[in-house]
Amino acid sequence: MTPRVLAALVAAGALALPATAGAATTAPPTLASSFTPNQIDVTGSGSVQYTITNPNSGGTVYNVSFTDTLPAGAVLDNPATETDSGCTASTASAPVVTYTANPGSSTVTVSVPQVKNGTPCTVQFPVVGNAAGGGADSFGSYTYATSATGAATAAPSSAETTATLQVIAQPTVTVSGVRTGATYKYGQAVTVTYSCAQPGLTAGIATCSASDDLGDNVNSGQKLATKQPGKHALTIQAVDGLGDVVSDEVDYTVLPDNVFTIAAVKPHAGGSLAFTLALPGAGAVSIKEFSGSKLISAKTARVRGKTRLAETLSPDGAGAKALSTVKVKLQVTFTPTGGKKNTITKSGIAL
């Protein structure tokens, strides 16, 4: 075919010449962040992941770089260890990902030399909560290049997708009816009430429970076990929907048992009284006999443990002379070791 005939066919549209290859058009890579989990408490931990995707059907985008500011209340963990997948370096010896991520900082900067099409590049860092807050992260400068040596091009905001993270306060425990440092009598009725709350978390409180150092579970509204003298602790524990645990301990003291009885009181001639004491434990005993308001006989004793003590009071000397009534009064005081005294008085005992 002669050149003249070829030109005529092209002009008539019967034959099209192949198009000359032009410069490739490269769409900006997309950048998306995500948090796992998307709720943590102020002492909880999680991770932030950045996914860079090359949307072009062929080719590579280069020198992808961005800065991200974490949501309020979240910072990078210590250590701020980076992990990545699907990212590629410019040469075999070059680092795949370079970054600035300081523990305790809320800002991270990442640079990836190459992102090929078909395989997203993911970069991940650990994060922790340090204050109640939340919201979405925010990308600062986000740039890329269409060639390894090309100038940086700012990616449009439409290529960015941020994520939200909620940093919630820890659960709270409220206790009433018992307080740290309190001292209770042996067998005293002490009703405990408590509650747990986590208003910042949709899942709320999973469990709210209490137990004492004796191994007893204590429900809210239940009485403490106060028949074991000594120092004790009640622990209230809240577990929220994230599995976070908060405990509150109340330390208190139960005094030794000071409850005793006087039995078999028998008067005898001359104002003498015989009786039996049932004592709960070690301590000191003070026994007094009165005629009217006058002390006519007294004695003391010590016991080493739980016992029954048979005693007799016999007025003599001045006491016998002071006996002026046909009825007397018996007063017994028991002070347990390390405890508080308890006094029982029996009046109107006919001689």
What local confidence, expressed as pLDDT, does residue 21 receive?
Answer: 37
Whole-model pTM?
A: 0.64
Residue whose C-alpha is closest to residue 288's, from 328, 257, 326, 323: 328
Cα distance between residue 160 and residue 155, in whole Å: 8
Is the pLDDT reported for residue 322 higher than 90? Answer: no
Cα distance between residue 119 and residue 53, in whole Å: 7
- Chain Cα centroid distance, residue 14: 81
The pLDDT tens digits of the residues spanning 238-279 come to 998 888 889 999 999 999 999 999 999 999 988 999 999 999
The pLDDT tens digits of the residues spanning 33-60 come to 999 999 998 988 999 999 999 999 888 9
What domains are defined for the chain? Answer: 25-168 (2.60.40.680), 172-254 (2.60.40.10), 261-350 (2.60.40.2550)
